Amino acid sequence: MIVKTSADEIQSYLIDASNLKGFCDAVYFPENEADVIKILKEANEKKIKVTVSGNGTGLAGARVPNGGIVIATDKLNRIIELSENEKTAIVEPGVILADFQNLVNQKKLMYPPDPTERNCFIGGTVATNASGEKTFKYGATRNYILELNIVLANGDLLKVKRGEIFADGYSLKLKTESGSRYTLQLPEYTMPPTKNTSGYFAKKNIDAIDLFIGSEGTLGIITKIMLKLVDLPEKILSSIIFFDKEKNALNFINKAREITYQTRKENLTNKLDALALEFFDKHTLSFLQKDYSNIPHKAEAAVWFEQEVSLLNEETLMDEWMLLISEFGGDEESAWFAFSDSDNKKIQEFRHAISWKISEYISQNNLKKLGTDVAVPDDKFEELYYHSKSEVEKENLHYVVYGHFGNSHMHLNMLPKGEKEYEKGKEIYKKICMKAVELGGTISAEHGIGKLKTEYLLLMYGEENVRKMLEVKKALDPNLILGSGNIFKIV
């Protein structure tokens, strides 16, 4: 097993896409589960902190170490099994999501969880319960995880299979492969009815596997994952529509969402049923205008929608969307329509460019990420949106807003110039989180808490509930060696 200690070799493991910087003594590259067990046993005995690393695309500083060692999952990258009949796959955590998606697509299958950044590892997406544009139809990563192997802090191997072990109320009993038993008392908070990846998944009678999904490397190291796949759609209708009035774009999304829910409720086929509903405000569009000259200058907002279609219903569904576009004043002339897979890719690249350019800007200006990841129930979303914008505008900070508005989930990224503006931005960030909580939502819908949002998790669930979360961690990791600084402000 390779162990790297020299500064230039380990440098890239000390950061992630949030631009937080950390430090550690060594980076270990296990090649199999047995290696992970061995490293953890030793680290636990010596009480050495262990941060597990995926591919470092996280936006919350979660894989950034604060001392101790890093276990990098780069070499745990085998696709162990792909069953076309069962529509399942078994993978190691270091498999790159894009590679896996391409492979299953060739078999006419699809793995729906799709954070915009596909260069992440599958293990990282499980540990953050990642989601993305397709979540509007397919839900988050959690929905596709069938089995996990997890190495606990002391090196004990735990295997959890969906549908096999449930909590009795809030008491969850686990038994590892070595026969050790653990009883966990889960916190009794109510999770918001939105996309959510804030703290531990906890509710009455939960399936044990759900506790580990989204636990951000704090409860154990995932070494094997069984995933569920779905059929690859025949074709995807994809379009970006520009609007002269922002309100029209928001209304367009509301209406498309309403029709979609109706279609699904009545189980209708050949009707409008959005796969993705994404929004970009005028600041986002001008941020990208330099690279995309085909963005109309007068556009005040844009919406990207996708729908799965077949050759038979494509035209009918396109007509339905066109009617909706014209009802809400979308500009048909300047719209981008994807007519082929390569057009689809170009639109996806455009969406990726937004998040990527923000990260680049932050890194070039040596700032930390100030991008919200809040989501609220649909009927509260516009209140959150307008409130948040007015808070930033009051302080004259530059910002861009985009995100998964179909899921009432908003990324408002502030672009502060210098430390003074950054401090102001932090206050606004807190206010936006408080507003989301007040409206019954979450402070993190998909990126996780990591090290950058521990303060806001306290706002969301309160000190007592966060303490109870910590008790769960302590039961599995009494020396608190795993994922130090993630979720809990303890280092």
Using CB under 6 A, pick the residue from 14, 48, 69, 127 that binds ligand FAD.
127
Site for ligand FAD in 200-229 (CB under 6 A): 216-217, 221-222
Candidates 58, 155, 371, 416: give the one binding ligand FAD (CB under 6 A).
58
Q: Which residue has the tokens 């449930």?
A: 166
Examine residue 131 and tell whether it contacts ligand FAD (CB under 6 A): yes
Indicate whether 447 belongs to the interface with ligand FAD (CB under 6 A). Answer: yes
Q: How far is the CB of 65 from ligand FAD (least distance, A)?
A: 9
Closest approach of Cβ 276 to ligand FAD, in Å?
Answer: 11
**Residue 446 binds to ligand FAD (criterion: CB under 6 A):** yes
Footprint of ligand FAD on 84-123 (CB under 6 A):
93, 115-117, 120-121, 123
Nearest approach, Cβ of residue 132 and ligand FAD (Å): 4
Task: Determine contact, residues 140/263, Cβ cutoff 8 Å.
Answer: no
From the list 57, 284, 407, 413, which residue makes contact with ligand FAD (rule: CB under 6 A)? 57
Q: How many residues bind ligand FAD (CB under 6 A)?
A: 40
CB atoms within 10 A of CB 323: 11
Under a CB-based contact definition with an 8 Å cutoff, are residues 352 and 360 in contact?
Answer: no
Of the pair 170, 361, the CB lying nearest ligand FAD is at 361
Q: Using CB under 6 A, which residues numbered 13 to 52 contact ligand FAD?
A: 16-17, 51-52
Binding mask 374-413 for ligand FAD (x = CB under 6 A): ----------------------------------------
53 lies in the binding site for ligand FAD (CB under 6 A): yes
- Determine if 68 is a binding residue for ligand FAD (CB under 6 A): no
By the criterion CB under 6 A, which residues form the site for ligand FAD?
16-17, 51-59, 62-63, 73, 93, 115-117, 120-121, 123-125, 127-128, 130-132, 216-217, 221-222, 352, 355-356, 359, 446-447, 483, 486
